[in-house]
Chain A
């Protein structure tokens, strides 16, 4: 498996078929005398931002903090929860079990007040 090609930036789908986000980062565990191990996938705009520039990542994390949605973010999905890879990555978790939906939930709270939002 090619980590960058097959994992990074792929869409992550939860166990109910809902979009969780894209793989913004990959966490590797370095082991003495053994090849590194993929321990988790990371989802979150701060991780994505830090790929462009570390300062951008810190700035986004600060914004998340300021808006009160930073709790539990960026989300780390332990690799053992990955069910299948390619083209999308399916995981054995539900969105609600993680903090990936924090911003969505915050916006939903506002949007629900607008008539016609369902």
Chain B
């Protein structure tokens, strides 16, 4: 019975914690620019994420190792430096973007410029990690994050035409702005399949002491949680397509994105959008900062864990604090939060092969995962998709930078 409760909590918090600055901004832009035409990219991204999350949970449950630690042990430090530096770089950029997302949400409700909120937001994020246990951080913010379901409610109440929705799940070539279409498709995949999620999830499984008998919990959390989570992202896209796309309103800022709630929620629209954006981004910021601590601690063999007292994992605690300070420093230099978000999620897709390909080798190593190895079909699909995504990203990112 306790396991069923844990499973439900895991699924619900996965849904509540699913959308954040990257998924909200990319899906809002995709809906405004291309209607329902990019729904397929979210479906692909959701499936990819569910498969990878399930694998990282399986690795952690069976071997008690996380992705970062296992990659160094298996491939050596020289190889491991590449994904380690790439992940730390994208984690820091994404963390900056999430801090910006919470600050924008506070600006929407207070009217005070977002720059003034950056320092208090980073401090609040740090306090949550410093004082909270893993369960408080993960479950508390995940449950609060259920406010993001307002995107699904909005999409539902706007009665989008079913036939047009269904057509959106078939990849098509658009009749305008092909480069932009490709960039948004790549960014949506990058925003959904963030590498930080994989190591964070695996670290959580180790912290919560999952074992082989818990593999069914892992499988269900991964596929059901991430599946329904993807529906929240789709809610953003559909709401944006119906409300903003039909009026030819482009999403150049988060203020414009907030307009998508007006027809459904009326005078509560801005507050509700700000809550969804703010809580979604705060949850992600906390997870990303913690993950930076996990990555470094596991790479170098330090004591780690959000369940441990901070003094018992001093280097781990110092690491997540430092990364938060670094992200805040980047944020304070002045940046366009929306643009930074788009660039960091697109970069994520470029580094994906460096994270996913060694991970696939680990998942076929019986010394680590015993007989729970991955099948050849899953391996082939994941390898092909990540390499294809990276090539596409390398083509469309320069086009977006030049064109944008």
List residues of chain A with CB under 8 Å of any chain B CB: 4, 8-12, 18-22, 24, 43, 45, 48, 51-52, 86-87, 103-105, 107-108, 111-112, 114, 116-118
For the complex, give the distance between the alpha carbons of A87 and B69 in Å: 11
For the complex formed, measure the closest distance between the CB of B64 and the CB atoms of chain A, giving whole angstroms: 9
Contact of B78 among A51, A104, A105, A111 (CB under 8 A): A51
Check: B310 CB closer than 8 A to any chain A CB: yes
List residues of chain B with CB under 8 Å of any chain A CB: 63, 65, 69-70, 72-73, 76-78, 80-81, 130-131, 299-304, 309-312, 314-315, 317-318, 367-368
For the complex formed, measure the closest distance between the CB of B321 and the CB atoms of chain A, giving whole angstroms: 9
Contact of B314 among A10, A51, A52, A111 (CB under 8 A): A111
For the complex formed, measure the closest distance between the CB of A40 and the CB atoms of chain B, giving whole angstroms: 17
Contact of B300 among A21, A52, A107 (CB under 8 A): A21
B309 adjacent to A20 (CB under 8 Å): no
Give 22 pairs: A residue, B residue, CB < 8 Å, sorted on A.
Answer: A4-B76, A11-B301, A19-B301, A19-B303, A20-B301, A21-B301, A21-B302, A22-B72, A22-B299, A22-B300, A48-B300, A52-B78, A52-B81, A87-B65, A87-B367, A87-B368, A104-B302, A111-B311, A111-B317, A111-B318, A116-B310, A117-B130
For the complex formed, measure the closest distance between the CB of A96 and the CB atoms of chain B, giving whole angstroms: 13
User: What is the chain A residue whose CB lies nearest that of B310?
Assistant: A117
Known contacts A11-B301, A87-B367, A103 near B130 by CB under 8 Å: no
A48 adjacent to B77 (CB under 8 Å): yes
A11 — which chain B residues lie within 8 A by C-beta? 69, 73, 301
Contact of B72 among A9, A103, A105, A118 (CB under 8 A): A9
Known contacts A18-B303, A87-B73, A108 near B367 by CB under 8 Å: no
- Point out which of A18, A22, A114 has the most chain B C-beta atoms below 10 A from its C-beta: A22
A51 — which chain B residues lie within 8 A by C-beta? 77-78
User: What is the chain A residue whose CB lies nearest that of B313?
Assistant: A104
B303 adjacent to A10 (CB under 8 Å): no
For the complex, give the distance between the alpha carbons of A25 and B340 in Å: 40
For the complex formed, measure the closest distance between the CB of B63 and the CB atoms of chain A, giving whole angstroms: 7
For the complex, give the distance between the alpha carbons of A117 and B314 in Å: 9
B73 adjacent to A108 (CB under 8 Å): no
* CB-CB nearest 4 A-B residue pairs: A118-B309, A22-B301, A107-B314, A21-B301
For the complex formed, measure the closest distance between the CB of B161 and the CB atoms of chain A, giving whole angstroms: 53
For the complex formed, measure the closest distance between the CB of B82 and the CB atoms of chain A, giving whole angstroms: 12
B312 — which chain A residues lie within 8 A by C-beta? 118
Known: A9-B73, A107-B317, A108-B314. 18 other contacts (CB 8 A): A4-B76, A8-B76, A11-B301, A19-B302, A19-B304, A22-B300, A43-B301, A48-B77, A48-B300, A87-B73, A104-B302, A111-B310, A111-B314, A111-B317, A116-B131, A117-B311, A118-B310, A118-B312
Contact of A104 among B81, B131, B310, B315 (CB under 8 A): B315
User: What is the chain A residue whose CB lies nearest that of B317?
Assistant: A111
For the complex formed, measure the closest distance between the CB of A28 and the CB atoms of chain B, giving whole angstroms: 17
- Point out which of B303, B311, B312 has the most chain A C-beta atoms below 10 A from its C-beta: B311
User: What is the chain A residue whose CB lies nearest that of B318?
Assistant: A107
A12 adjacent to B130 (CB under 8 Å): no
For the complex formed, measure the closest distance between the CB of B271 and the CB atoms of chain A, giving whole angstroms: 31
For the complex formed, measure the closest distance between the CB of B60 and the CB atoms of chain A, giving whole angstroms: 13
B311 — which chain A residues lie within 8 A by C-beta? 108, 111-112, 117-118
For the complex formed, measure the closest distance between the CB of B207 and the CB atoms of chain A, giving whole angstroms: 14
B368 adjacent to A117 (CB under 8 Å): no
For the complex formed, measure the closest distance between the CB of B230 and the CB atoms of chain A, giving whole angstroms: 34
For the complex, give the distance between the alpha carbons of A107 and B301 in Å: 16
B315 — which chain A residues lie within 8 A by C-beta? 103-104, 107
B63 — which chain A residues lie within 8 A by C-beta? 87
For the complex, give the distance between the alpha carbons of A43 and B130 in Å: 29
Known contacts A12-B301, A21-B301, A21-B302, A117 near B73 by CB under 8 Å: no
A8 — which chain B residues lie within 8 A by C-beta? 76
B304 — which chain A residues lie within 8 A by C-beta? 19
For the complex, give the distance between the alpha carbons of A8 and B301 in Å: 12
For the complex, give the distance between the alpha carbons of A49 and B241 in Å: 52
For the complex, give the distance between the alpha carbons of A22 and B65 in Å: 13
For the complex formed, measure the closest distance between the CB of A19 and the CB atoms of chain B, giving whole angstroms: 5
B65 — which chain A residues lie within 8 A by C-beta? 87
